[in-house]
Amino acid sequence: MKDEIKRHNEEAFKTSRAEQDRFGARERHVRSNQRIRAAMMIIVVVVILAIAWAIAGVMRERAMFIVAGVASGLALLSLIQLAPFRLGYTRVEQGYVVTSCVQLLRKCNFIPDTHKGVPVIGIAAGVFKERKRMYYISLPGGLTHIGKECFMNCRDLRGVVFRGESKLQVVEEKAFFNCFNLYAFCAGDEVTRVGDSAYENCRSLRCLYLGGNVEKIGNRAFASCGNLAAMSASEKLTEIPRSAFNGCRSLTSMPLPACLEKLDDDSFGYCASLASVRIPEKTACIGKGAFTDCRALKEVVICSKPEFIGFNAFRNCDGAEITFTAVKKQSKDWNGQWADRRCKIKFAK
């Protein structure tokens, strides 16, 4: 099982990292262009002001002074566009946490590695919530914590880039909820916890890498990520919670760790492309609708002795072959309608 997860994660990392590198190259290009445009705009503004006031001084006519004043106002508006966003910080034991972002016209798309020479290690709850025209953001590799609802409803956000090796550990509840256009996310191998609905409804998300050390994911953590095709698997999960992957229509495979004890209700419901599943020996509970409407599911191998299988656990898994390797007959504790009639069920001899 570990070898399978390792191979799976290597492929997920390769895909996700390629997308991150693509966004990283774009981010460097955009920042370079911003600096060039800023320098050119300052030069143009200075030249215009110098000419306007020089003419006004020579001609000494009231109309010319008015024109020069208007030119000054327009120049000021142009310079406002160059005004940098301002981040607010709070000092904690390990470093600084970003707690606010004030911006005029220039959008925040960069969080520095340090503040006053001390590492920036986190982003507080809701800092960038519902920001418009935030197309990408560059984060420091030393960032360990992304707070609750941090990027919630940032519907224009397409890419998140970590500079250097990511040390991210925690992605809190609804951190990227409703980021419709987020395409890829590649963290390091230190992520241990993903909160409820952290990536729910990220409809464009195609590849997600969180490493193999995630110990806990929340309810609906990845629900309705309809285009998610490549995602890392964890070796340390003991539970797949309620609706965690519900509606991930493009997900074709997800190796389950040997230590998994529970598949909660609707955990993989409506994963229409999921082709095969191997349920490990320690899994005692398969919840209601756990694999409902997984219409591409053809092979299910259950290596455990489930104490409970819920109602419609394998509903509409048309023609799936479900093989029990350790159970000789159906338990009275299982729901009587746990599988579709069209499923082929084989018990151990």
Q: State the CATH number of the domain containing residue 100.
A: 3.80.10.10
Whether 93 shows a pLDDT value over 80: the answer reads yes
Instruction: Kindly tell me the sign of the dihedral angle through the C-alpha atoms of 167, 219, 152, 128.
Output: negative
Residue 340, pLDDT score: 86
Q: Which run of H or E residues covers position 321?
A: strand 321-324
**How far apart are the C-alpha atoms of 280 and 203, rounded to whole Å?**
30
1 domain residue, yes or no: no
Helix extents (H) in the chain: 2-59, 62-80
On average, the pLDDT of the chain sits at: 86
How confident is residue 11, by pLDDT bands cut at 50, 70 and 90? confident
Give 313's pLDDT tier (boundaries 50, 70, 90). Answer: very high
Residues 74 and 94 occupy one common structural domain: no
* % of the chain surpassing 70 pLDDT: 78
pTM above 0.85, yes or no: no
Q: Are 257 and 234 in contact (CB under 8 A)?
A: yes
- 63 & 89 share domain: no
SS3 at position 40: helix
Strand partners, 97: 90, 122
Residue 289 pLDDT more than 90?
yes
Residue 46: predicted pLDDT: 63
Residue 202's nearest CA partner among 173, 223, 172 is 223
Let me know how long the chain is. 349
Could you identify the residue written with the tokens 């599988």? 339
Residues 119, 198, single domain; the answer is yes
Residue-range definition of the domain harbouring residue 36: 31-80
Q: What value, to the nearest 5°, has the Cα angle with vertex 174 and ends 172 and 179? A: 125
pLDDT confidence of 321, banded at 50, 70, 90?
very high
Asked if residue 67 has pLDDT above 90, the reply is: no
Task: Please write the tens of the pLDDT for every residue from 124-146.
Answer: 999 999 998 888 899 999 999 99
Q: What is the pLDDT of residue 56?
A: 57
Q: Is residue 123 domain-resident?
A: yes
Do residues 200 and 243 share a domain? no
